[in-house]
Structure 1
Amino acid sequence: MTPSLTSPRTFLTSLFDAAVKAADPLTGITAHLPEKPKGRTVVVGAGKGAAQMARALESVWGGPLEGVVVTRYGYGCETRHVEIVEASHPVPDALGLAASKRLIETVRDLTADDLVIALICGGGSALLPSPPEGLTLDDEIALNEMLLASGAPISAMNVVRKHLSTIKGGRLAAATKARVVSLIVSDIPGDNPAHVASGPTVPDRSTRRQALEIIAQYGLKLPQAAIDHLNSERADAPLPDDPAFARNSHHIIASAGVSLEAAALAARAQGVEAVILSDAIEGESRDVALVHAAIAREVLGRDRPFTKPVAILSGGETTVTLLAKGGKGGRNGEFSLALALAIDGYDAVHALAADTDGIDGSETNAGAFADGGTIRRLRAAGLDPRRLLDVHDSYSGFKAIGDLFEIGPTGTNVNDFRAILVA
C-alpha cells in the first residue's frame, strides 16, 4: 500500500502544498516583468497576497522602486521599498478607506514617462473601500456584509461593488497618466481579470443597470443613497476602450487551474491517479459538497466515473447564504461539514477543503479535513452535526474534534482547493 493510502491527511496536505507552491507570485512576476520606464516606477496593490507580491517584485526588479500596497491584518511581510499597509478583511474599515486614498494619491501626479505596476489579488475588494459622494464607510461596510450573506457569486458581488466605488472598476488606473501594468493572482472562477478585487486597474463592460438587477435578484436592502447613486450617471465606470487605458496591460500570473494541475502531478507522483472536475465551480457550499460526495460514493462502490484509488480535485469559489447568524466558519468548512454528512460511514473516503490564502472566512483556519468517521467523532463529542450545518458553525465542530486545517497566511490566493481521496 502506498504512503498516500496509509496516511490520507499527509497525502491531502501534500496536494494542497503543491497547489500553493504553483501559485507562488515570484514565478509569475519574473515571467511578466515590464520594461523599465524613462521616469519613476511606482507600485500599488491590494489583496491578501499583495505584500508577498511586492516582496517578490522587489527581489527581481533591479532598479528604483517605490509605492504602497494594502493587505489584510497579519498578512504583511518585510519589504525594502514598497510600504505595506494593513486593513480589515472581509469587512472594510477606516484603515482600508485611508489606504484607498493613499493609492489614488500615489498615482495621481505621475506622468506619461512613469510606470505603475499594480499587484492585484483576491481580497482587494474589501481592502479598498472608497464610497462615492453621498455614501459613507458605514454604508460600504453594510454593503459588504449583505453581499457576503446573500449567496451571490463573487462575480455578481463585484459588479455591485465596482459601481459603488471611486477606485474599483478601472478607476485607479484611470486616475493616472502613467502606463499601468497589472500583475494579477486570480481567485475568480474563469479568471476574468476585471473581477479580481473588483478590478481597480482593469475595467470591464458591466453596467450600473446590471448592478441594480443583482441587488433586486438577491433582495439586498441598500441605503436609498446607494440606489440613487446607481440610478445616476455618476455610477458609470470607465469602459475598456476609454483612451485612459490605451497603453495599459494586464497579466494573470497565477490561477486555480495551474494550481490544480500541480496538485494532480503531486498525486500521481505518489502513485494515485488524479482527476480535475473543474477550476471554476460555484454555488452553495453544501450543495457542491453533495455532488462531490455522490461522485466519491460512485467511485467507491462502482469504480465509475473514475477507478479507485483516485484523488478528485476541484477549485473555484462557492458561497454560503447565511440563513442563521452567530456561527463560525467559512465556505470551505461548510463544504467539509456537508460532505462529512454525505459520506458518513464511508471510511475509505478522505477529503480536505481549504482556501489557498490560508484563511477560510473570518477565523484562523484555512479549512477542514473530513472523512467517513467525522460524523461519529462529532457525535461522540456531544455535538449535533446537522445543527452545526444549519447554523453555519462548522468551525466550532471541527475545532472540537481536532480536524481544522490551520496553516496561516500563504502569501497567495487562487481561491478554494478541494481534494477527495477515494482509497
Structure 2
Amino acid sequence: MTAAAQADDRMRADLTALFGEAVRSVSAEVAMPSRLPASPHGRTIVIAVGKGAADMMRIALERTTDPAMQGLVVTRHGHLPPGDVNWPNVEVIEAGHPYPDENSVRAAHRALELAGTLQAGDRMLVLLSGGGSALLAAPAPGLNLADKQAITRALLQSGATIEEINRVRKHLSAIKGGRLAVAAGAAAVTTWIISDVPGDDPSFVSSGPTVADNSSLEMAREIIDRYGIRPPAEVAAALQDPANETPSADSLGLAGCETLVIARARDALAGAARLAGEIGYHVTDLGDQLQAEARHLGASHAALSRRLARAGGPRRAVLSGGETTVTVVNKAGRGGRNLEYLLGLAVALDGEPGIWALACDTDGIDGTEHAAGAVVTPTTLVRAAKAGLDPASHLAENNAFLFFEALGDLVVTGPTLTNVNDFRAILIHPAGGIDS
C-alpha cells in the first residue's frame, strides 16, 4: 500500500471514529436518566416515539421499578434493535418515515387511546426522538392520510426548515401541538426528548405532542404561501378552520407538564470534540444550529477549509451540526441533506490537498436512502472523472447519493437508534501533510 493510500485510510478511520463517538454520546444508554419518574399513585404508561424509540423503551424497561408498566413503541420501519423486542406489556408499531402511512395513523390513535385511559394519580412518560411527526399521524377532522402525505411531500421538497414544516403539521393534526397531553387529562405527564431540531425547542421535536405550541394557523398559512405550495383543497380549508388552532397551555393545563431535553446536537459535537483532541486535532466548533441550503453550506465550509489548510499551523478538525435544507428540482433524484452538502463541498474544494470530510445523519439514514452519509477526500473529483461522473450535473439533479455510491464512498451504518440530526467533520492537514 502506498503512503498516500495509508494516509487516506487513516483519515477515513479518524472521521468514522468521530462520527461513532458523536452518536454514542447521544445514545439512549448515555442520555436517559438513571431512574424513571414514579407514578404518583396509580398506573404508569410509557409512549416512545421516533427513530430512537425502541432503544429508549429498552432502557426504560431496564431502569423502571414498576413491573406493571405498560408501553407503546412507535418507530420507523427497520429501526428496531437486533434481537427479541417482545417486551411484556409493550406494543410495537413500525410506521412510515419521512411520509406517514396507515401504521402512522394507527399508532397515533393508539397513543391517544392509551392516554385517554389515564386518571388523576397516573403518569404518562413520553420518550421522543426525531421522526415522530411522520410516525404519529392523526389527521385533523376533514382530512385523510392522502392529504397528510401530499402536504408533507410538498413541504419536504420546498426547502422549508423543520420548524416551518412542523408549524404546518401541528395545525393539521389531532395529536401534535400538545394534544396528546390534553388526552391524558388529569394524569401527570413527563416528556424526555432526544432533540433533532436546531435550537432544541421541545415544541418542535416530533411536532410536540405533549408540549404547548406558540404558533398559529396564520403562521402556517404564511409558510404555505412563502414556499409557493398549492395544498389539497381539504388542507387549505383546514388551515382556515379556527378549530385547528393548537391548544392553549394556560386554558388546557399543558403548562404543568414536565419536559426535559436529555440529548441534543451539542452533546454529539462535544463528544466528537473530546475525541478529536485526544487523537491530535485542534478543534474548530462551528456550532450545532447551522441551517442553510445544503450545497451552499458545503461551498461555504470549503472556502473556510481552504483558508485553514493554506494558513499552516496544527492539524484541525472543523465540526458542525444542525439541519440543512434541500430544494428538490428533480423529484426522481436520489440524495439527502448530508450527501448534497458533501457534493457541494467537493465541487468547491476542487481537489484541494490535505482536506477530508464526513457528513452523516446521526440516525444512520440520510434522506430516504440507506446510507448515513459519505466521505469526501482530496481525490474525490479525480476518481469521479476516471469513473465518468460529472459532479456538477449530479448536484444539479439532486443525485448526490448516486455520485458517492459509484465512488464507494458512502457511509453505511444502519439505524443508530438515536437522532440529533446532521453531524459534519472536516479534517485539515495544512500543506497536505499527514504527520502528527
**Which category of TM-score, normalised to the shorter sequence, fits these structures?**
over 0.9
Amino acid at match of 1:73: H
1:345 equivalent in structure 2? 351
2:304 is the alignment partner of 1:295: yes
What TM-score comes out, normalization by structure 1 length?
0.96
Q: Is the 8 A contact 1:352 1:419 kept in 2?
A: yes
* SS in structure 1 at match of 2:327: coil
Residue 214 (structure 1) aligned to one of 223, 229, 238 = 223
Q: Separation in 1 of the partners of 2:146 and 2:80?
A: 25
What TM-score comes out, normalization by structure 2 length?
0.93
1:66 equivalent in structure 2? 70
Give the 5 Å matches for 1:154-193: 154-177=162-185, 178-193=187-202
Q: How far has the Cα of 1:165 moved from its partner? A: 0.6
Q: Is the 8 A contact 1:4 1:10 kept in 2?
A: no
In structure 2, the CA distance between the partners of 1:4 and 1:19, relative to structure 1 (3 Å rule), is farther
Residue 80 (structure 1) aligned to one of 80, 87, 91 = 87
In structure 2, the CA distance between the partners of 1:135 and 1:393, relative to structure 1 (3 Å rule), is same
Equivalences, count:
419
2:378 is the alignment partner of 1:375: no
Q: Separation in 2 of the partners of 1:5 and 1:263?
A: 20
2:402 is the alignment partner of 1:396: yes
Q: Is the 8 A contact 2:182 2:252 kept in 1?
A: no
Q: Is the 8 A contact 1:169 1:194 kept in 2?
A: yes
2:208 is the alignment partner of 1:199: yes
Cα deviation 1:119-157 (Å, max 9, x = unaligned): 111100111111111111000000110011000010010
1:48 equivalent in structure 2? 51
* SS in structure 2 at match of 1:327: coil
1:112 equivalent in structure 2? 120
2:105 is the alignment partner of 1:102: no
* SS in structure 2 at match of 1:338: helix
Give the 5 Å matches for 1:320-359: 320-359=326-365
Percentage of identical aligned residues: 44
Q: How far has the Cα of 1:268 moved from its partner? A: 0.5
**Unmatched 5+ residue regions in structure 2?**
430-436
Q: How far has the Cα of 1:6 moved from its partner? A: 6.6
Cα deviation 1:312-363 (Å, max 9, x = unaligned): 0000000100012211111001011111111122121000000000000111
In structure 2, the CA distance between the partners of 1:383 and 1:203, relative to structure 1 (3 Å rule), is same
Q: Separation in 2 of the partners of 1:246 and 1:169?
A: 13
Cα deviation 1:72-113 (Å, max 9, x = unaligned): 000023252322210111111111111111110111121011
Amino acid at match of 1:54: M
In structure 2, the CA distance between the partners of 1:375 and 1:216, relative to structure 1 (3 Å rule), is same
Cα deviation 1:166-210 (Å, max 9, x = unaligned): 110011111112111001000000000000011111122111110
Q: Is the 8 A contact 1:272 1:309 kept in 2?
A: yes
* SS in structure 2 at match of 1:135: coil
Q: Separation in 1 of the partners of 2:7 and 2:223?
A: 45
Q: How far has the Cα of 1:67 moved from its partner? A: 1.8
* SS in structure 1 at match of 2:32: helix
Amino acid at match of 1:218: Y
The 10-residue stretch of structure 1 (242-251 or 162-171) with the greater mean CA deviation from structure 2: 242-251
Q: Is the 8 A contact 2:181 2:254 kept in 1?
A: yes
Residue 145 (structure 2) aligned to one of 137, 146, 149 = 137
Q: Is the 8 A contact 2:212 2:255 kept in 1?
A: no
In structure 2, the CA distance between the partners of 1:292 and 1:196, relative to structure 1 (3 Å rule), is same
Q: Is the 8 A contact 1:55 1:79 kept in 2?
A: no
Give the 5 Å matches for 1:225-236: 225-236=234-245
1:279 equivalent in structure 2? 288
Q: Separation in 1 of the partners of 2:7 and 2:266?
A: 23
2:15 is the alignment partner of 1:12: yes
Q: Separation in 2 of the partners of 1:37 and 1:13?
A: 45
Amino acid at match of 1:153: T
Amino acid at match of 1:340: A
Amino acid at match of 2:281: V
**Unmatched 5+ residue regions in structure 1?**
none
Amino acid at match of 2:10: S
In structure 2, the CA distance between the partners of 1:25 and 1:152, relative to structure 1 (3 Å rule), is same
Q: Separation in 1 of the partners of 2:305 and 2:248?
A: 44
Q: Separation in 1 of the partners of 2:276 and 2:7?
A: 8
Cα deviation 1:223-267 (Å, max 9, x = unaligned): 122122211211110123234324311100100001101100000
Q: Is the 8 A contact 1:76 1:84 kept in 2?
A: no
In structure 2, the CA distance between the partners of 1:396 and 1:384, relative to structure 1 (3 Å rule), is same
Q: Is the 8 A contact 1:150 1:321 kept in 2?
A: yes
Cα deviation 1:37-91 (Å, max 9, x = unaligned): 3111101121111111111111111213112121000002325232221011111
Q: Separation in 2 of the partners of 1:32 and 1:15?
A: 29
Q: Is the 8 A contact 2:38 2:44 kept in 1?
A: no
Q: Separation in 1 of the partners of 2:360 and 2:422?
A: 6
2:257 is the alignment partner of 1:251: no
Amino acid at match of 2:115: V
